[in-house]
Chains A and B, each alone.
Chain A
Amino acid sequence: MPDEVTAERVAAIAASARIPLDAAAAERVARTVNPTVTRFFAEKIALPMEIEPASFVVVAREQAER
């Protein structure tokens, strides 16, 4: 489970991306996004090291050959 999404974290990511974001916007973003990140990590997904994004294509294409 990651730390809660905080305004400080949002501001730090924005700064590293060199995208201007004022403090009020960072607060709003944290409030808005926190439920999504929390829900995703509540799934406790444990992915094998070998799984990569393109593994999706393998699963989908198996259906094409079905």
Chain B
Amino acid sequence: MTDPANLSLVEVAAAIRERKLSSVEVTRALLARIGRWQPVLNAFVRIEAEEALSAAAAADAALRGGTTLGPLHGVPLAHKDMFYRAGKLSECGSKIRKGWVAPATSAATARLQGAGAVHLGALHMAEFAYGPTGHNEHLGPARNPWNPLRITGGSSSGSGAAVAARLTYAALGSDTGGSIRLPAHFCGVTGLKPTYGRISRADTMPLSFTLDTVGALARSAEDCALIGSIIAGADRLDPTTQGAPEWNMAATRRPVKDITVGVPRAYYVDDLEADVAKALDEAVATFRKLGARVVSVDLPDQTAVTAAAQIVLGAEATSLHSPWLRTRTGDYGAQVRARLQNGLAYSAVEYVEALRWRGPALAAHLAAIGDVDIIVAPASRAAAPTIEETDVGAGPHADATIQAMTRLMRPANYLGLPVLVVPAGHSGMPIGLQLIGRPFCDETAIALGRAFQTATDYHRRMPELP
């Protein structure tokens, strides 16, 4: 059998369930790999080897006794260090929460555990999930497995690096302004940022309650579909999920000939590096070949929705952090402190107007796209830059760097749209594309991504240990 670490989430879950591999074998294989890669990547903040092996042994014993907990029985996973586990550390990439023990378990983690997953450890993240590059002044930067001198993207930096290096089969991440999609793009993995309100954020560290989403980084669209089927759905502790439609696994296999793909005429296609433009063109050609209808679309001005997103994010993040801004301001990294201070600039009227415009802005977006199911767009104008060139701290280039990095991200957060990022090119470093869906049509984005991954192999490419 191939190295278990190279299997996808769906494949390894089936292998364990069918007792072709034991959970202990699989967990040992990942731990061995983590031992080799961690000094290079800084992807983990805590590795819980003993607990993981003990849980894996229990999973194997249960299986031998005829008990299967669920579709992830015995599968080891690691998650961004902001998904709380009752009684366990959750330090959120910060000095302020150093040593903080979570009082409850996040809904997403609990559902994965309920499905049988084994917990491997906690992953690196930007401080309080407020950074798009993967830098962290307290932890040092996470490093990209394709080239450790380059960034992972953030804020789910460890999730992107660990999935790409095959240190975990999937990882939870959060996305408030690109924090799943940027690491997916830069690290060459598949990332699902769900519709706002589709997946519970209960007992997960908040950044901006209007924009926060919980999703997954994994090795394929099919893996994201499996994770979605487990963690999506109503949760009484997150009122935004009340009344949302149930996950429709059949729709993740929707025929591509029934999908209309829109290619934006502007904004997302402006000023792209040649390799990103080429990846976009080739993906569009692949969608056509797979049977999709492809049309051009004129989206409303994305700079306005981006500005609205920044106002909402700035005001909410600063509000959430206001107690520590009053008492522990020196304990933030310089860039995060500066960004939190930026939120002090917005008046109450500006904030509420930005909130109130969200519905009309979504209606305008939907009117503009007509019957388009999926908008295909780059995740960034370029592949991963170096850690050094983006190490701007709170200096004079900080804001420009952050704006450039997140330029193609914020509209989907403000409009609450689902996005699947799929690896779609490689120029020494991976290139991902966003498949941006309609609200609560996450499954359609996955269906298109799944079909794309039957026709391409970018998601199967693996970095080698330098």
Please measure, in the bound complex, the distance between the C-alpha atom of A34 and the C-alpha atom of B203, giving whole angstroms.
34
Please measure, in the bound complex, the distance between the C-alpha atom of A60 and the C-alpha atom of B336, giving whole angstroms.
32
Please measure, in the bound complex, the distance between the C-alpha atom of A33 and the C-alpha atom of B346, giving whole angstroms.
8
Please measure, in the bound complex, the distance between the C-alpha atom of A13 and the C-alpha atom of B350, giving whole angstroms.
13
The interface bits of chain B over 351-380 (1 if a CB of A lies within 8 angstroms of the residue's CB, else 0) are 011111111101100100000000000000
User: Is the pair B359, A51 in contact by a Cβ cutoff of 8 Å?
Assistant: yes
The secondary structure that dominates the B interface is helix
User: Is the pair B359, A29 in contact by a Cβ cutoff of 8 Å?
Assistant: no
Interface residues in A26-66 by Cβ distance below 8 A to B read 28-30, 32-34, 36-37, 39-40, 42-43, 45, 47, 51-53, 55-61, 63-64, 66
Segment with Cβ contacts to A, from B30-38, B72-80, B434-442:
B434-442
User: Is the pair B344, A28 in contact by a Cβ cutoff of 8 Å?
Assistant: no
Kindly provide the distance from the CB of A23 to the nearest chain B CB, expressed in whole angstroms. 12
Number of interface residues of B (CB under 8 A): 47
How many residue-residue contacts, CB under 8 A, span A and B? 124
User: Is the pair A53, B307 in contact by a Cβ cutoff of 8 Å?
Assistant: no
Segment with Cβ contacts to A, from B43-51, B308-316, B455-463:
B308-316
Kindly provide the distance from the CB of B3 to the nearest chain A CB, expressed in whole angstroms. 41
Residue of A nearest to B438 (CB): A63
Number of interface residues of A (CB under 8 A): 39
Supposing A60-B197, A63-B440 touch, asked if A51 and B311 sit within 8 A by C-beta, the answer is no
Residues of A contacting B358 with CB < 8 Å? 53, 55-56
The interface bits of chain A over 2-20 (1 if a CB of B lies within 8 angstroms of the residue's CB, else 0) are 1001000110011001111
Kindly provide the distance from the CB of A41 to the nearest chain B CB, expressed in whole angstroms. 8
Residues of A contacting B342 with CB < 8 Å? 29, 32-33
Would you list 5 pairs from A and B whose C-beta atoms are within 8 A, ordered by A residue? A29-B342, A36-B307, A51-B359, A53-B352, A64-B244
Closest A-B pairs by Cβ, 6 of them: A55-B359, A64-B440, A33-B345, A56-B359, A60-B439, A53-B355
